[in-house]
Homo-oligomer: A and B are copies of this chain.
Amino acid sequence: MSSSTPIVDIHTHIYPPSYIELLKSRDEIPYIRQFPPATEHRLVILPAEDTPSTSRGRPIGPEYYDIEQKIAFMNTHSINASIISLANPWLDWLPPTTALQTAHSINTEINHLCSLHPKRLYFFGTLPLSAPVSSILASITHLTTLPHCRGIILGTTGLGTGLDDPSLLPIFTSLAAAQLPIFLHPHYGLPTSVFGPRGTDYGHVLPLALGFPMETTIAVTRMILSSVFDSVPELQVILAHSGGTLPFLAGRIESCILHDAHLQKEGKLTQGRKTIWDILKSNIWLDAVVYGEVGVRGAMGVSGTERVMFGTDAPFFPPLDDEEDASEKQGKEGEKEGKKWLSVSLNMDAISSACGAGSEEEKAVLGGNAIRLFGLELPVSA
């Protein structure tokens, strides 16, 4: 580490070894298996990916489960600290009877991985959502005992019917009380039908580029409309991929609320109502995984520069080939442990362009905001 700007990656995934074994033991998605004649193991997590083709799932190498590879990746990109999280599909698919124990075991395992690299690794825990609410609450209590835990990662289905489900309120209340923010992350995307009969001609572009961010946007909008943030005003939610599309659509959502005859009739348009603009500035945080200056500006525009945080989405979106990324040629000293990833440099460049290179705003987004929100201690620079 030679950079004077601490860099914190709040969006970076891992499948700990025991989770890999779980996935290998399965024969329906999500699963990991070989597709002969190929000998590599491939991870298939979405129904749309589970078809015989050159793009069936994705190869799964040690970058998915080896914590030393995470550290190497961090060193390559001058990332001082990472908040690692279990990648989707998390634990939603577990049998209710084993879910609590599996969550306990996996959260403990990830906490242990963090302890191997003190101050460099923290984590978002995972909840046993298929278990009874009392077990989910017990799991939150367990997370508060794990010293490296800084929040939880959550998908969009909640207990099965989405995050506007009133049954989730005790869980949201418990998370807010424990000061554990939610990292809301997509997994299911949109029904394949919306991408049309030629959707697979474009590889994974449509589900990844559009389905994922739209899923997140719908999920958080349903939370807003069901008044979650009025019921649990202290709840803090970090949205993956800069909120999906929430920053851009916030104005339209608020206008549609203000013009909705049904909501008016139901007495929902009262003066004291928390508007979407209020919620964006008091309950929402956004990662800066949006791959463009316009997106970063939009994120900062709605939630404030102080609520936007750098992320990489690694190990997803590795470089396609061994060619050196152009940004590598301009690399600083001390970054020679590997080749930089295009997906990371796109996000770093976007932050730099939107904030101004070397500005206080850039420092805040790259690391300062995460250090403040999560109370991180960082390693002394080497």
Contact flag A206-B218 (CB < 8 Å), given A241-B252, A259-B320, A342-B259:
yes
Contact B294 A298 (CB under 8 A): yes
Contact A249 B346 (CB under 8 A): no
Contact flag A262-B204 (CB < 8 Å), given A209-B252, A248-B245, A297-B298:
yes
Contact A248 B294 (CB under 8 A): yes
Determine which of B195, B262, B301 lies in contact with A294 in the assembled complex, contact meaning CB atoms within 8 Å: B301
A63 CB within 8 Å of chain B: no
Residues of B within 8 A of A293 (CB): 251, 301
Contact A261 B54 (CB under 8 A): yes
A210 CB within 8 Å of chain B: yes
Distance between A10 CB and nearest chain B CB, rounded to angstroms: 17
A256 CB within 8 Å of chain B: yes
- Determine the residue in chain B with the shortest Cβ distance to A217: B210
Contact A290 B252 (CB under 8 A): yes
A283 CB within 8 Å of chain B: no
Determine which of B54, B295, B346 lies in contact with A262 in the assembled complex, contact meaning CB atoms within 8 Å: B54
Contact B255 A291 (CB under 8 A): yes
Contact flag A198-B226 (CB < 8 Å), given A251-B292, A251-B350, A258-B342:
yes
A317 CB within 8 Å of chain B: yes
Copies in the complex: 2
Contact flag A196-B161 (CB < 8 Å), given A206-B218, A259-B343, A262-B204:
yes
Interface of A is mostly: helix
A270 CB within 8 Å of chain B: no
Binds B, one of A28-36, A84-92, A135-143, A186-194: A186-194
A378 to B269, alpha carbons, bound, how many Å? Answer: 40
The 0/1 profile, CB within 8 Å of B marked 1, for residues 221-262 of chain A is 110011000000000000001100101111111111111111
Residues of B within 8 A of A204 (CB): 256, 260, 262
Contact A261 B320 (CB under 8 A): yes
Residues of B within 8 A of A256 (CB): 204-205, 208-209
A197 CB within 8 Å of chain B: yes
Contact A195 B213 (CB under 8 A): no
A374 to B276, alpha carbons, bound, how many Å? Answer: 36
Contact A196 B265 (CB under 8 A): no
Residues of B within 8 A of A213 (CB): 245, 249, 252
Contact A210 B161 (CB under 8 A): no
4 closest A-B pairs by CB: A251-B292, A203-B262, A251-B291, A248-B248
Q: Which residues of A are interface residues toward B (Cβ below 8 A)?
A: 53-55, 161-162, 164-165, 190-191, 193-199, 201-206, 208-210, 213-215, 217-218, 221-222, 225-226, 241-242, 245, 247-265, 269, 290-295, 297-298, 301-302, 317-321, 342-343, 346, 350
